[in-house]
Structure 1
Amino acid sequence: MNSIPRSALILGLAGLIPFLWGAATILFPQLQSWGLATFGGRFVGPYVQLFYGAVILSFMSGVLWGFATKATGRAATAGYILSVIPALWAFFMTGGGPTTAAVNLIVGFLGLLMLDWHFWRLGLAPQWWMHLRVLLTGIVVISYLPLVF
């Protein structure tokens, strides 16, 4: 079955809100002003996107770790090693200013997509996994473009 479960799709799409909100507050200064007055500086513009992106890469490391638990022997060991890469990437690569951090997060999310594919090919992720991950990753990458250009 390649159909994404409704709850996974809804929660995955809801998880895009901080990425999209951050991009919107970069593209529309009046929205950023409203967001600053309403939520504070931490929840608008680059800050929300960069911080949340690091959180999500770390979260996805945990998801990959869970997939690795389904493997055995060397495949499990390799899976555990690979699963920590997104969290380490977020930790080490999100400094250097908002543009550099955004580019590094784009690379991190694209790398995560390759790891998703690897675990999926091994049969450790659900059949529908790549349909969801390609959709979400594409939207995340697009949401970072206002920070890069």
Structure 2
Amino acid sequence: MNGISQKLGYAGLIPFVFFASAVAVGTDWAIEPFILYSALILSFMAGACWGVLQAHRDHVSPVELGVAIGVFLWGWLMVYLSHTAGLAGLLVGYWVLIGLERRAVFLTSYKPDYRTMRGILTLVVSTCHIGVIWVLLS
């Protein structure tokens, strides 16, 4: 993977870490931007999966296409739920995409270094979501 893709991928973590840290120190305003940014990124990732699936339509099922669109819609629905429910739902969405990306079409489309980066990014994003949920439930 080229350097700019990795830099952009990791830079995308900055708002997650910033807003999660702000929530952790008791900043009330940070929860809404955290949820909105998360929904935006989840939608972006679902769209990227849709693009890969569309590029290989002869090798994918309608279910796989439906999952990509479903995650997009699911993410935006989470914006309208309570904070804890929405955050938990967004977290589920990220892991559904990781599961989708284990399908053969993604294994041949994504290079190993990209898959590694996606795993790291998803772990950090998940940690931020769990941390914010923890703070909200405390």
Structure 2 gaps of 5+ residues are none
Q: Matches of residues 68-79 of structure 1 in structure 2 within 5 Å?
A: 68-73=53-58, 75=60, 77-79=62-64
Q: Does 1:135 align with 2:120?
A: yes
- How far is the alpha carbon of 1:91 from its aligned partner? 2.0
For 1:18, the equivalent position in structure 2 comes to 15
In structure 1, what is the equivalent of residue 44 of structure 2?
Answer: 59
- Report sequence identity in percent: 24
- Decide whether the 8 Å contact of 2:64 with 2:100 is kept in 1: no
Structure 1 Cα separation of the partners of residues 59 and 9 of structure 2: 31
Count of matched residue positions in the alignment of Structure 1 and Structure 2: 133
Q: How big is the shift at 1:76?
A: 6.2
More moved, 103-112 vs 69-78: 69-78
CA contact (8 A) 2:68 2:97 kept: no
Supply the distance in 2 between the matched residues of 1:48 and 1:13 (Cα, whole angstroms): 19
Instruction: Return the TM-score normalized by structure 1.
Output: 0.78
List per-residue Cα deviations over 1:24-65 (Å, max 9, x = no partner). 101123xx38xxxxxxx4xxx211110011111111121112
Counting helix residues as a fraction of each chain, which structure ranks higher? 2
Q: Distance in 2 between matches of 1:103 and 1:6?
A: 32
8 A Cα contact 1:19 1:140, kept in partner: yes
Counterpart of 2:98 (choices 104, 113, 123) is 113
Structure 2 length-normalised TM: 0.83
Q: Which residue of 2 aligns with 1:27?
A: 24
Deviation per CA, 1:63-112: give whole Å up to 9, x if none.
11211132133626454333212211112233331111111111111111
Which amino acid is 2:68 matched to? S
Letter in structure 2 aligned against 1:6: G
One-letter amino acid matched to 1:125: Y
The structure with more radius of gyration = 1
Q: CA RMSD in A?
A: 2.0
| Alpha-carbon distance in structure 1 between the residues aligned to 2:111 and 2:55 | 12
> Is 1:95 the equivalent of 2:80?
yes
